[in-house]
Amino acid sequence: QVQLVETGGGLVQAGGSLRLSCAASGHTLRGASMGWFRQAPGKEREFVAAINWSGGSTYLAGSAKGRFTVSRDTAKNTVYLQMNSLKPEDTAVYYCAVDFGSWSSAGRVEEYEYWGQGTQVTVSS
């Protein structure tokens, strides 16, 4: 079992920044990719960003490119999502997740085995 705890959400004005953290515990994460997803009210959960085990490869959704950065500290079992130039449409609950499968499927919700409880991000206009 893997436990994931997200922190860093909150209320921010449009154009502002937030840094989300996701701390993992339990089963070793060696070889696992970690992803960030979000879900707005009435919408399906959508992919935001992912990073592979070594941190050498990242993958960002089109909506995140140029504004968000994903990184990880394997020694701390923690992954980060730096979000800049936030927009009201970024408002959602943000979740981190762990995928022990192939990196090639890192953007697919169904590939992730473990999920955190989520942290709310609200961007005001």
pLDDT digits (tens, 9 = 90+) for 5-23: 999 999 999 999 999 999 9
In a 13 Å sphere around the CA of 71, the CA atoms on its Cβ side amount to 9
Give CA–CA dist 12/78, Å, rounded.
Answer: 23
Q: Is it the case that residue 114 has pLDDT exceeding 90?
A: yes
- Give the residue with greater pLDDT, 106 vs 47: 47
Pairing state between β 2-7 and 68-73: unpaired
In this predicted structure, the answer to whether residue 102 has a pLDDT above a threshold of 90 is: no
Grouping H, G, I as helix, E, B as strand and the rest as coil, residue 36 is: strand
Residue 92's SS3 state is strand
pLDDT tens digits for range 22-68: 999 988 888 899 999 999 999 999 999 999 988 889 999 999 999 99
Give dist(CA 69, CA 82) in Å, integer: 5
Q: How far apart (Å, rounded) are the C-alpha atoms in residues 29 and 121?
A: 26
The pLDDT tens digits for 66-79 are: 999 999 998 899 99
> 89 pLDDT band (50/70/90 cuts)?
very high
| CB-CB neighbours of 43 under 10 Å | 9
Q: What are the two backbone dihedrals, phi and then psi, of residue 101, each rounded to the nearest 5 degrees?
A: -90, -155
